[in-house]
Structure 1
Amino acid sequence: MNLISHLLGYVVDLLAALLGSVLLLRAWVYTLAIPTSDPIAKFCEVLTDWLVQPVVRSTGGRIGRWHWPALLCAFAVAILSSILSRLLFGVPMSLLGLFVSPFALLGRWATELVLWGTVIWAVLTWLRSPSPVIRTLGFLVEPFLRPIRRVIPPVKGVDLSPVFVFILCQLVLILITPLARGIV
């Protein structure tokens, strides 16, 4: 395996992870009914419209409660990434690995979105930044923080739920990353 194919493999993985994550974020933003005028919603739309709009048109514009076209595009990116990564890194292609890897990639991207969204939200709230993104980020990560807040109350006024979300996300990533790489 030469250096060029390894570098190309890492670039493909990075670009697929970024695109797949933004597609999943677009679906989550839609599900939570965040207005399209919101900066995060606009960001997702601008970056992914070229891929999502043809799927929306082919389905007759019907999306539903979940943004199925964005999820379908994320799944297609995961499949393509799985195949290209295996080819570029020289990983043998098993049928089970090719089947599991795209689903695990979607899980990994979603977990990383929750992890980084929570970290960025926690840091921005500590800094008391006046950014309008804080409110949207809080709205996006609240469904993951709320169950932990029910179990673990604030300690001396400090909300520890972001720390526990971070730890849980790390545990999920430890389990799912080998599957995302097709190691079954």
Structure 2
Amino acid sequence: MNAIQYLIFTLIGLYSFILVLRAWFQYCKVDFYNPLSQTLVKLTQPVLAPLRKVIPSKNNLDLAALIAAFILSAIKYPALTLIGGQVMPAIPQTLLIGILGVIKTFGEILFWSILIRAILSWFSRGNSPLEYTLYQITEPVLGPIRRLLPSTGMIDFSVMILGFILIFGNKLMYDFFNVLWLLA
């Protein structure tokens, strides 16, 4: 991968991350006036405003953001092969990479959120807006795990279990999709 391909891969991946994060923020009903929410809105509004006219949100799920992330993930690999002078991939393969890209991005959001939340819990007293935002975006996933676990007092094992599930899921997806999972 040359420098231009790496730059395109990184920029498309970063913007897909931002789009999926915005959809997850809306699903989790994160405070709209939170500075992080406002930043996501400002970064994604130029792309999502025209899409929202055609693709409405359903059940508090921002379908326009998810479809935009899918499109970006799907065109990432063909753009890289075109720049590299290689043969263009087949359309079904490109669509699969787009779907895998959204799934992988969602897993990355959860992984980094629980990791940052766990590290912040060691040092702060829980007053910061960032901690509350992390709580809001991880609780829809950690809550059901916590309900299944027996009460252990002060130690919350749900974060470790979710981390293990995410790492195992990443390995499993690599076993099933191999190189396509890396390209997603």
Structure 2 equivalent of residue 79 of structure 1:
74
How many residues of Structure 1 are paired with residues of Structure 2 in the alignment? Answer: 177
Contact 2:30–2:137 under 8 Å retained in 1: no
2:134 to 130, 137, 145: 137
Q: What secondary structure does 2:57 align onto?
A: coil
**Unmatched 5+ stretches in structure 2:** none
String of CA shifts for 1:71-127, please: whole Å, max 9, x gaps: 121111111213223334647624442231110111110100000011111111221
RMSD: 2.4
Tell me whether 1:15 sits opposite 2:15 in the alignment.
no
1:151 to 144, 148, 151: 148
Contact 2:28–2:140 under 8 Å retained in 1: no
Contact 1:97–1:182 under 8 Å retained in 2: no
In the alignment, residue 162 of structure 2 is paired with which amino acid? V
1:35 & 1:91 partners in 2: Cα distance?
45
* 1:182 to partner: Cα distance: 5.7
String of CA shifts for 1:48-71, please: whole Å, max 9, x gaps: 112111212x328x4332112211
Task: Pick closer, same or farther for the CA change 1:112–1:72 going to 2, 3 Å.
Answer: same
In the alignment, residue 76 of structure 2 is paired with which amino acid? S
Structure 2 equivalent of residue 63 of structure 1:
57
Deviates more, 1:72-81 or 1:90-99: 90-99
Contact 2:117–2:134 under 8 Å retained in 1: yes
Q: Given the two structures, how large is their TM-score scaled by the length of structure 2?
A: 0.84
**Unmatched 5+ stretches in structure 1:** none
2:94 & 2:183 partners in 1: Cα distance?
7
* 1:43 to partner: Cα distance: 1.9
Tell me whether 1:160 sits opposite 2:178 in the alignment.
no
Runs of 4+ in 1 over 6 A off after TM superposition: none
Contact 1:117–1:141 under 8 Å retained in 2: yes
